[in-house]
Amino acid sequence: MITTVALLTAGLSPGACAHLEAQPFDVVEDVVRQAQSDWKGIENVSLSANPYRDKRRLCIKLDDLMGEAKGTKWADAAKALLEGLDSAAPAGLVWRTHELRSRLLATDPAAAHGALTAALDAYPADEYPSPMKHSFFQHLVCARAPFALEAQGGEAATKEILGLLRDDARFSYFYADPLQSAFLAKGEAASLKALFEGAADILEDRDPAAARELRSRSIPEELRLGGDPKKHYVLIGGDRPGKKERPLIVVMPGGTGQALEFLPWMQHLTAPLLDEYQFAVLSAPTWQEGQGEQVVWTTERHKKKYKAKFTVEDFARDVAKEHASKEAGAYLFAWSSGGPAAYATILDRDKTFSGAYVLASVFKPDQLDVRRAKGKRFVLEQGRTDKVTPLRFAEKANEVLTKRGADVLFVPFDGGHGFGDMLDARKSLAGALEWLTAPAKAGKSARKTSRHR
């Protein structure tokens, strides 16, 4: 049998080619050749020369290598790699080979889980200058989690991760965000809470700061309004007491508009604010293939074109009805591709939302009913050197909305598109929400004073 070690370290010999030609697939040779090239660039690199060595894997562009190969051939390639691996292989090659196998076996959760378990077992006990930055061990743990959840369920996946964290010194950095995404994607919020609580207990003496951070996390709720998978959103801060007394901030993300994609960033932004607000991060529903290349958020204007069953205006309004109280109120926060949807929603036919914080977005007044701006409040923040959505859009919004009777706080800053060049995104969000909600809070305070007289 031709070993993977021979193939990867000595090149393809005539015997290896004959072995490959005898197999019932035609893509393994490309995978092995690429793995050979990748491993040759890694095998003689020491951690002292490059502490990031173990962030390098085999066959990063696996999809390109496999092309249009059917699923059975992906499994055949994984089998060939396993059969070619022997006990003489270096640990670095072994764990990378099993990690590669897990990607080839991704459609079979149990098999992919087994491949990643083998990768973890083979991972060397190296000492890194900074495990958080340089070790790949925690990434293998995170990669295994979705397969464990699928194959075994939330309770078993939690037990598996905590056992490893407690007993294995190589698991020296607990990478919470991808684990959170994996658990929430499977609707395992309760298991996620148990995972974070258990990890905090284990890390209490080893890493007190990490333990405190885990305990301070608000566990988001992944929800589907009315059970409709198209009405998907994540509620942040809903687990805090007194949620009905806090304003609801409905968030329309930029980019692809998907809540889970931006969840770690949203948790970072909102962490200091959860005693004052709750946040519902919407996911933009897709109605037709290729829609996102033109319109991320389907408003009333685009409903007919994309055959949408509901609009973002309706979606946002229904989420507000579900979580906001009349007294605390509801507001919008959007950036980039979410901006047009926020404008359309707050300028819609009803008064669900009292204000909107819009960052780095276009503004097209001819597509909006700007007559409804009167009495609404807007914070418009925009980078002066933004080349994606130039400053002129925010300047136009400021001019038009102010003329139509809105209260507008226009905040240009030195920088480009979105959050990247902002001095302090958390501070900007806190200031924007404080300004938007100030009248409602003042009214609430006045009502309390009146009741006490």
As given in the structure block, the two tokens for residue 396 are 């136009």
As given in the structure block, the two tokens for residue 194 are 């148990």
As given in the structure block, the two tokens for residue 233 are 């959103």
Helix %, strand %, coil % of the chain (to 5): 55, 10, 35
Q: Are residues 347 and 399 in the same domain?
A: yes
Query: Domain boundary residue among 150, 182, 217?
Result: 217
Q: Which residues contact 92 (CB under 8 A, 6 or more apart)?
A: 42, 43, 54, 124
Kindly report the pTM of this predicted structure.
0.74
CA distance linking residue 283 with residue 289, whole number of Å: 16
Instruction: Supply the pLDDT for residue 444.
Output: 59
Instruction: Supply the pLDDT for residue 371.
Output: 95
Q: Are residues 104 and 179 in the same domain?
A: no
Residue 356 in contact with residue 376, Cβ under 8 Å? Answer: yes
Instruction: Supply the pLDDT for residue 336.
Output: 97
Q: Are residues 247 and 307 in the same domain?
A: yes
CA distance linking residue 175 with residue 145, whole number of Å: 12
At position 42, the amino acid (one-letter code) is: I
Asked whether residue 130 is domain-assigned, the answer is: no
Residue 411 CA to its chain's centroid (Å): 27
Per-residue pLDDT of the chain (453 residues; tens, 9 = 90+): 334 444 444 444 444 445 444 444 478 878 888 888 999 999 999 999 999 999 999 999 999 989 888 778 899 889 988 988 888 899 999 999 999 999 999 999 999 999 999 999 999 999 999 999 999 999 999 999 999 999 999 999 999 999 999 999 999 999 999 999 899 888 898 999 999 999 999 999 999 999 999 998 888 988 999 999 999 999 999 888 766 689 999 999 999 999 989 998 999 999 999 999 999 999 999 999 888 788 999 999 999 999 999 999 999 999 999 999 988 999 999 999 999 999 999 999 889 999 999 999 999 999 999 999 999 999 999 999 999 999 999 999 999 999 999 999 999 999 999 998 898 999 999 999 999 999 877 765 544 433 333
Query: Domain boundary residue among 91, 124, 157?
Result: 124
Q: Are residues 247 and 205 in the same domain?
A: no
Using the structure block, give the residue that is written with the tokens 């190589």. Answer: 170
Neighbours of 18 (CB within 10 A): 10
Asked whether residue 131 is domain-assigned, the answer is: no
Instruction: Supply the pLDDT for residue 4.
Output: 45
Query: Domain boundary residue among 217, 236, 269?
Result: 217
Instruction: Supply the pLDDT for residue 443.
Output: 62
Q: Are residues 319 and 434 in the same domain?
A: yes
Q: Are residues 310 and 383 in the same domain?
A: yes
Asked whether residue 442 is domain-assigned, the answer is: yes
Q: Are residues 278 and 196 in the same domain?
A: no
CA distances from 190 to 59, 180, 215, 235, 239 (A): 36, 11, 14, 14, 12
Q: Are residues 255 and 394 in the same domain?
A: yes
Q: Are residues 105 and 16 in the same domain?
A: yes
Across the chain, mean pLDDT equals 90
Residues in the chain: 453
Domain span including residue 213 = 138-217
Instruction: Supply the pLDDT for residue 242.
Output: 66
Residue 412 in contact with residue 384, Cβ under 8 Å? Answer: yes
CA distance linking residue 51 with residue 31, whole number of Å: 26
Asked whether residue 190 is domain-assigned, the answer is: yes
Instruction: Supply the pLDDT for residue 450.
Output: 38
Q: Are residues 198 and 234 in the same domain?
A: no
Using the structure block, give the residue that is written with the tokens 């920088």. Answer: 415
CA distance linking residue 240 with residue 247, whole number of Å: 13
Instruction: Supply the pLDDT for residue 441.
Output: 72
Residue 336 in contact with residue 255, Cβ under 8 Å? Answer: yes
As a whole number of Å, the end-to-end CA separation of the chain is 91
Q: Are residues 35 and 145 in the same domain?
A: no
**How many separate domains does the chain show?**
3
Q: Are residues 265 and 347 in the same domain?
A: yes
Please state at what angle helix 91-104 crosses helix 71-83, rounded to 10 degrees.
160
